[in-house]
Structure 1
Amino acid sequence: MKKRRILLIIILLLVIGIIWIVEPVSLNPFSKVEIPRTESITDINCEGSAFTLDGDLEERANDTINKYINSNSFLGVTAGLYVENCLTYTGGAGFTSKRGQKRADSDMLGRIASITKPMTAVAIMQLYEKGMLDLDEPIQTYLPEYPKKPKGDISIRQLLKHTSGVNHYSSNWDALSFTHYPTLIKALDAFKDNELEFEPGTQFLYSSYGYTLLGAIIEKVSQMSYGEYMQKNIWDKANMSHTSLEEDKKYEKKSRLYLKVKSTFIKSPKTDLSVIYSAGGVQSTVGDLLKFGEAVLNNKLIDSTSLDMMINATDELAPAIGDDPYGFGWAVYDHPEYGKIIQHSGSQPGTSSFLAIYLDHRVVSVVMSNSFGSGRNAFRLSRKLAAIALE
């Protein structure tokens, strides 16, 4: 009798777990209800602009997003385009919540994951412009808490370019953190005793922990928390009114977190991002990310000389392992048709995102989705939306 009771409890817990994760399969909106098509907002004023845009741009952009939603590429997605002195377009389709069947729109708030990295890199360059740090000094100059390593000293420049030797996650499971750290300096405890993967400056290894170190340096040098510094010096200056660190509280318009497993979207556990706040702990909207791109283009955050330093990938090491050339916080790509593009993807539980700035054409393209596992589609959708403006 006792064994039967225990077995029933186990079965009940399994059923509850399946319902919690899948919400359940029967609530997959793509099999039960009409999929919300794209709703968009477009502000066009191209007088005096070099751009000549077709009158059906909004319709073509909406149709492009709808094709991705109809093919089950995303559960919910928002996307946007900015063309300097001409146009801002934002659109959203699909669902922010399977259980509540809430539709996604341009105001959907979500994780941006590693798109945080170029923001952190811009913050470092602001401090560099003010003479508050040296890019080539050993990081212990600013962070004595981080122990010296036998394989050599690490510089801020190497952290920015992912050539420091600081380790990244060992697996997708290793990326899941449920521990909260009150500051990024305290978050160093999670990895500061790990040995370097190689001698600094000799190889490329993408490392979110390396950008945690950069965030801790920002805290030490500015004497502000990372969130306070970013709010005052990045987000406020770029008029990004819906951008913040993700904290443990409720947010209006915040999407739920999902994982894409083949054709099914399952609920993701809510991970704690405080160990990588400066590498991937920011939440935002598609409109705010367009404003960030605009601020970069118009030197609202750093001057053109600093931006040139950030996008100089002539001495980078990334191609040795097949990655895009990497500058300071940006992947740098020379497109045969569209010219120089600086870009960054983002991927973690609850999001696949992509931001691209077309420097030669003064265009920004953004895609944010609410599911891990849709990264390739976020990249492709971003490129296709940009092509509509650049044709």
Structure 2
Amino acid sequence: MLLEERLNNWVDSYNRNGYLNGTLLIASNENILLNRGFGTANWEHSVPNVPTTKFRIGSLTKAFTAMAIFQLHEKQKLNIDDYVGKYLHDYPNGQQITIYHCLTNSSGIPNYTNAPDFWFRTMRLPSTLDQLIDSFKEKELEFEPGSKFGYSNSAYALLTAIIEKVSDMSYADYIQQHICHPLGMYHTGCDDGIKVVTGLASGYSFWEEPIHSAYADMSFPLGSYGLYSTTEDLFTWDKALKSFKILHKELTEKMLTPNIGSYACGWMVSELMEKKYVHHFGDISGFSSDFLRFVDDQVTIIFLSNMNVSPVMHLSREIAKIVFNKNVSSPAPAVPISFTKKESIVGKYVIENGDKVLILSIKNEELYLTVPKMYGALYKFKLIPISHDSVKTAFLTEMIYERLIFYYSLSGEIERVQYVDCYEKANMLYKQ
């Protein structure tokens, strides 16, 4: 079977159950193998996702910020080994922290998105870049700069300020004029939340059905996680990085070389199936994205989603396995059967060796599973019974591919419960 056919078959098996939301581009040797949109860009107006739909790309932005810094280094407007205090004169510890520390997330600056009130309050409020920097600059460093890895959106806020100061341009203008437009990426830019971006998807979460995600004010994400793009533009970006179109080879290689652990500058470098790949994940207010670049093998996988619960990182790696001829599983069709013993399985369940609590409940005669996901946020999915006999009953969830299987004893009592999450990790559950 041809690779394109295997990819389409796998994608179709997920899509028929409504498990894909967003756009997906897969390329090998710069030939596009798959370029499709799935699900809904805007639920209010029933607008479908298509390959040209724009998405907020979250922290995939950091790669663009790193490129801007390296371009300014190449033009000798700054040096990546300069201390940030050279450009941000009143920044505390500015004579200890270098631009390179910020690029490689080894600055020790506390990450402002980790502040206790960020998700519930701060992210909803407008802020200037200076106000944002003022909010964390007096905080104690978490470690000596350059000694450890510590992911920090704050460090990328400093880089944004340095780009603006050195270039005498706004971050948004710099990215468009020096990166996007020279490459023909006309569907990529900085989303300030005010200007209308045509073709931009809306971001969603899930509770029994698609719901609005928590509001994020877009005045301050900027160079940390503020860009929008399309899979097609990001594929252009991928090719430009390989051909050293907007940055010399030596500096591009420095930018893509890990410093501490696997983090380079706006990219991570890891191994999958003994193959090196350059990658980054992004998420912001209902959007999640993943970008995998197997540079040596000339394979690129870009998945942009506007449903925050979509496990894009897992799915993109499953796709990589298919491309490299490994076997992967795919979901059975979610065809509901009759199941009358709903009351018998309702209740709270605890994951073995864990503190995660799952709740099974009934609403309007339908079974639902409530389960915590990333950042501990709760989601509620309808359970679809797909098989039932004297030995076991199997359920699939709506929206993401998860399974719940009840095994029965000879007397018909529930003997054990297995929960297979969207990362295909199997867990035993115990009723509280």
Query: Would the TM-score normalized by the shorter structure come out above 0.5?
Result: yes
How far apart are residue 341 of structure 1 and its match? 0.6
* Residue among 181, 184, 195 paired with 1:249: 195
1:170 is matched with 114
Unaligned runs of 5+ in 2: 326-432
Q: Is the 8 A contact 1:62 1:91 kept in 2?
A: no
1:344 is matched with 280
* Cα distance change on mapping 1:221 and 1:345 into 2, 3 Å: same
- Is 1:371–2:307 an aligned residue pair? yes
- Give the structure-1-normalised TM-score: 0.76
* Residue among 289, 308, 311 paired with 2:256: 311
1:26 is matched with none
- What do residues 28-56 of structure 1 show as CA deviations (whole Å, max 9, x unaligned)? xxxxxxxxxxxxxxxxxxxxxxxxxx756
* Cα distance change on mapping 1:185 and 1:83 into 2, 3 Å: farther
* Residue among 316, 319, 327 paired with 1:385: 319
* Residue among 153, 160, 163 paired with 1:208: 153
1:266 is matched with 211
- Is 1:328–2:272 an aligned residue pair? no
Q: Is the 8 A contact 2:18 2:39 kept in 1?
A: no
* Residue among 85, 94, 100 paired with 1:157: 100
How far apart are residue 303 of structure 1 and its match? 1.6
How far apart are residue 372 of structure 1 and its match? 2.0
- What do residues 326-361 of structure 1 show as CA deviations (whole Å, max 9, x unaligned)? 111111013344x22110000121211001111101
Q: Is the 8 A contact 1:126 1:302 kept in 2?
A: yes
2:292 is matched with 356
How far apart are residue 101 of structure 1 and its match? 2.3
* Residue among 215, 218, 227 paired with 2:172: 227
Count of residues in Structure 1 that have an aligned counterpart in Structure 2: 321
Q: Is the 8 A contact 1:297 1:362 kept in 2?
A: no
* Cα distance change on mapping 1:124 and 1:259 into 2, 3 Å: same
- Is 1:119–2:64 an aligned residue pair? yes
How far apart are residue 222 of structure 1 and its match? 0.9
1:90 is matched with 35
Is 217-226 or 248-257 further displaced after alignment? Answer: 248-257
Tell me the amino acid that sits aligned with residue 167 of structure 1. Answer: P
- What do residues 143-180 of structure 1 show as CA deviations (whole Å, max 9, x unaligned)? 1142337xx71111110111101111225851452333
Q: Is the 8 A contact 1:82 1:89 kept in 2?
A: yes
2:414 is matched with none
Structure with the larger strand share: 2
- Give the structure-2-normalised TM-score: 0.69
2:142 is matched with 197
* Residue among 207, 218, 221 paired with 2:163: 218
Q: Is the 8 A contact 1:113 1:280 kept in 2?
A: yes
Tell me the amino acid that sits aligned with residue 380 of structure 1. Answer: H
Tell me the amino acid that sits aligned with residue 198 of structure 1. Answer: F
Distance (whole Å) between structure 1 residues aligned to residue 29 and residue 288 of structure 2:
26
- Is 1:148–2:77 an aligned residue pair? no
Q: Is the 8 A contact 2:24 2:304 kept in 1?
A: yes
The secondary structure found in structure 2 opposite 1:177 is helix
Aligned-pair identity (%): 31
Q: Is the 8 A contact 2:3 2:323 kept in 1?
A: no
1:68 is matched with 14
2:240 is matched with 295
Unaligned runs of 5+ in 1: 1-53, 319-324
1:51 is matched with none
Give the RMSD, CA atoms, in angstroms. 2.3
How far apart are residue 390 of structure 1 and its match? 4.1
Tell me the amino acid that sits aligned with residue 222 of structure 2. Answer: Y
The secondary structure found in structure 2 opposite 1:154 is coil
Instruction: Write the mapping of 1:15-34 to structure 2, written as runs, cut at 5 A.
Output: none
Larger radius of gyration: 2
- What do residues 120-149 of structure 1 show as CA deviations (whole Å, max 9, x unaligned)? 111111111122212222101011142337
Structure with the larger helix share: 1
How far apart are residue 187 of structure 1 and its match? 3.6
More relative contact order, 1 or 2 (CA 8 Å, 6+ apart): 1
* Cα distance change on mapping 1:236 and 1:189 into 2, 3 Å: same
Q: Is the 8 A contact 1:110 1:284 kept in 2?
A: yes
Distance (whole Å) between structure 1 residues aligned to residue 43 and residue 116 of structure 2:
24
How far apart are residue 387 of structure 1 and its match? 4.1
- What do residues 63-120 of structure 1 show as CA deviations (whole Å, max 9, x unaligned)? 333333444544x210102333433641111111223222111121111000001111
